[in-house]
């Protein structure tokens, strides 16, 4: 049986990770005010995607941006449900870790540290452990 504080921690992780994914998606579609945005629109997001994975041909960058966005939406919404949440938490952890590593190798380690991408990845993996202990 779970202690009440364990349930609170579980839901705090779910909501925080979900909000982060969905906020980033909202940003690339221009749903945040300009002064609050990292990208502000799809074109800027795709340009940043090109920076993160420069080894991909330009013809595939748009697809990579769409795939990343769809994964973030799926993880962001899925973490708020009780459907295969442990698996979604692991997928979220790997997705965030791949972002952190891409940022590290294409720009520097400062970006993923400043934006706590490694921390978010660790939080997602921690959530998967919490959820797997629930069984």
Determine which of 3-12, 53-62, 73-82 has the lowest per-residue pLDDT on average: 3-12
pLDDT at position 12? 97
User: 65 pLDDT exceeds 90?
Assistant: yes
Asked if residue 79 lies in contact with residue 130, where contact means CB atoms within 8 angstroms, the answer is no
Mark out the alpha helices in the chain (DSSP H runs): 4-28, 42-52, 58-78, 85-106, 110-114, 117-134
Question: How large is the average pLDDT for residues 43-64?
Answer: 96
Structure tokens at 78: 């899925």
Q: What is the pLDDT confidence band of residue 4, given thresholds at 50, 70 and 90?
A: confident
Q: What is the pLDDT confidence band of residue 2, given thresholds at 50, 70 and 90?
A: low
Q: What average pLDDT is seen over the chain? A: 94
Structure tokens at 8: 């609170």
Structure tokens at 126: 């921690």
User: 1 pLDDT exceeds 60?
Assistant: no
pLDDT at position 5? 87
Structure tokens at 69: 């966005």
Question: How large is the average pLDDT for residues 102-120?
Answer: 96
Structure tokens at 41: 């629109």
């Amino acid at each position: 049986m779970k202690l009440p504080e364990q349930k609170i921690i579980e839901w705090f992780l779910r909501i925080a990770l979900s909000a982060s994914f969905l906020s980033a998606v909202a940003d690339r579609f221009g749903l945040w005010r300009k002064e609050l945005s990292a990208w502000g629109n799809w074109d800027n997001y795709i340009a940043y995607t090109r920076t993160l994975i420069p080894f991909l041909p330009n013809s595939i960058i748009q697809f990579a941006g769409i795939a990343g966005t769809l994964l973030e939406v799926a993880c962001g919404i899925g973490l708020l449900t009780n459907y295969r949440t442990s698996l979604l938490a692991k997928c979220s952890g790997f997705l965030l870790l791949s972002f952190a590593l891409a940022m590290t190798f294409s720009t520097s380690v400062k970006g993923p540290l400043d934006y706590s991408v490694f921390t978010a990845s660790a939080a997602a993996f921690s959530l998967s452990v919490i959820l797997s202990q629930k069984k």
